[in-house]
Amino acid sequence: MNTKTVAVMAAASLLTAGAAGCGGTQGSSAASTSSGHVNITFMEAMSSGTLAPAMEHLTSEFNRTHKNITVTLEVQASYSTLEAKEQASIAAGNPPTIGQAYEDWAATYAKSGAIVPLASYVHGSNGVSSTYISSMYKGVWKDQFLPGGKLYMWPFNKSDFVMYYNANRLQQQHLAVPTTWTQFMSVTHSLTSSSHGTWGFSMDPGTSSSAANGTYLYVALLRAYGGNLMVNGRVAFASQAGVRAMNVLKTMYDNGSMKLGTNYPGQTALGAEHGAFDLSTIASYYYNNEAIAGKFTMGVAALPKGPAGEGNVLQGTNIVMFSKATSAERSAAWTFMKWLTEPQQTAYWAEHTGYLPVTTQANPLMATYFASHPYQKIAAESLQYALPAPAEPGWTEGIGTIATAIQEVLLQNKPVQQVLTQEQAAAQTYVNQGG
């Protein structure tokens, strides 16, 4: 090998190295002082729109009312940055005291011993009452556990799916707001016209590496038809309900009433008056309104029901406590976590951000708000049907198999049952490998 060859190969390897991302973090570690004052850090991604001021207000309010604890926020620009930073800080042995986490992140952290179970805090002397626990939305409470039944998370910013629609179009066509999936299919079909360039709605099916609204829409449909993602620890979406749910999507795609896209296509199509509906989370309300820019009245309703009632998917994150924290920091952090979910704070958070309160105890405090923001009430009522995604370490990959299944059925016309069976097996393999 001559010098030139070596030089070119070195250049090649240099470029290869450059292509790989490198992340680092300067995690400011929490510290407790000798005076009994405890400093804790909360790594979070509530950085855009109304989220940042609401988060800052709550934190300073907590710091003001809890003289011996100081919470410092470590704000990240997005969930993906947050995840990278949390992972990097754990790997570097310098994590924050607490952090926002999705269920599958928590599962991965727990598997590596990076977070601590919270049962001793939740049920301890400084814990919450059983009345409080029973006032939490069922799905939200269930969402705090990892497989094996251990309580590892505490709820924070939760949302669920609703149906946005162009109220003017429905009115012009004398169509009622659909309340069942059968009605939804017929309404979207009757609003579809290739000559007018209009259709029912657009959705993003997601990819094998990242789930999107369309992926969750299938999960909501699956539940509405009586199915489940997992039954007794086994992936189970290739059921009869799974097939029926997929056929709903296939029918709508084949007759042109549903189109696929990327980057929030439902919002774009609704805003551009091509699509009449958008199925996405209540947290999209603000952004959908921006896209519509006053061109028409946007209606909000609960997701349509199936034979088994409304199926919905719980979205948003919880809070986890990292195991590097000292016991003083842990109890201080728990005090903060518990405080955040008390009725007054969860109501403040919901009213200022569009997320949902985690306990029904907040509802009386939010009566005025619900009266002026009826869509939030609709979303809050749907919380009772909103179930979390399985908190399996392999589920990040697992949910991707649903995105693949949707595309194989819609774009490649493969038989529904065969695709679902095959992708269910793939998802099971991921769950087995991750667990």
Partner 1 sequence: MSQNPSAQFVRRRMREYFTAYLYLTPSGLVFLVFTLLPALFVLYISLFNWNFLNESLSRWVGLGNYRDLVTSGQFWHSLLITAYFLIGTVPVGVILALVIAMFLMDQVPGRALVRLAVFAPYVTPVVATSIIWLWIFNPEYGLLNALLHLLHLPELGWLQSPHWALIGIIIFTLWHSLGFSVIIFLAGLSGISTELREASRIDGATRLQELRHVVWPLLSPITLFVLVISTIGALQAFTQFYTMTAGGPLASTTTTSYLLYTLAFIFYNTGHAAALAVILFLIIGGLTLVQMGVSRRRTFYQ
Q: Which residue, 35 or 263, has its beta carbon nearer to partner 1?
A: 263
For residues 349 to 388, the per-residue mask of contacts with partner 1, x marking binding by CB under 8 A and - elsewhere, is ----------------------------------------
For residues 12 to 31, the per-residue mask of contacts with partner 1, x marking binding by CB under 8 A and - elsewhere, is xxxxxx-xxx----------
Locus of tokens 């609003």: 191
Check residue 166 for interaction with partner 1 (CB under 8 A): no
For residues 250 to 289, the per-residue mask of contacts with partner 1, x marking binding by CB under 8 A and - elsewhere, is ---------xxxxx-----x--x-x---------------
**Among positions 411, 417, 418, 425, the unique one binding partner 1 when judged by CB under 8 A:** 411
59 to 88, contacts with partner 1 by CB under 8 A? 84, 87
Question: How many CB atoms lie under 10 A from the CB of residue 231?
Answer: 11
Q: How far is the CB of 274 from partner 1 (least distance, A)?
A: 7
Beta carbons within 8 Å of 151's beta carbon, 6+ residues apart? 117, 118, 119, 122, 144, 145
Q: With contact defined as beta carbons under 8 Å apart, do 16 and 311 qualify?
A: no
Tokens, residue 352: 């200022």
For residues 173 to 202, the per-residue mask of contacts with partner 1, x marking binding by CB under 8 A and - elsewhere, is ------------------------x----x
- Helix 213-224 and helix 395-412: axis angle, to 10°? 90
Q: With contact defined as beta carbons under 8 Å apart, do 169 and 292 qualify?
A: no
Beta carbons within 8 Å of 319's beta carbon, 6+ residues apart? 42, 98, 99, 100, 101, 153, 154, 155, 156, 337, 340
Entry field: residues in the chain:
435
Q: How many residues bind partner 1 (CB under 8 A)?
A: 48
Q: Which residue, 77 or 411, has its beta carbon nearer to partner 1?
A: 411
Closest CA to 267 of 201, 320, 194: 201
382 to 401, contacts with partner 1 by CB under 8 A? 396-397
**Among positions 135, 208, 345, 422, the unique one binding partner 1 when judged by CB under 8 A:** 208
Q: Which residue, 182 or 208, has its beta carbon nearer to partner 1?
A: 208
Alpha helices in 66-211 (DSSP H): 79-91, 103-111, 119-122, 130-135, 138-142, 167-172, 181-190
How far are the Cα atoms of 105, 197, 206 from residue 322, in angstroms, in the given order? Answer: 12, 52, 31
Q: Which residue, 87 or 341, has its beta carbon nearer to partner 1?
A: 87
Question: How many CB atoms lie under 10 A from the CB of residue 435?
Answer: 14
Q: Which residue, 1 or 176, has its beta carbon nearer to partner 1?
A: 1
For residues 97 to 136, the per-residue mask of contacts with partner 1, x marking binding by CB under 8 A and - elsewhere, is -----------xx--xxx----------------------
Footprint of partner 1 (CB under 8 A): 1, 4-5, 8-9, 11-17, 19-21, 84, 87, 90-91, 108-109, 112-114, 197, 202, 205-210, 259-263, 269, 272, 274, 396-397, 403-404, 407-408, 411-412
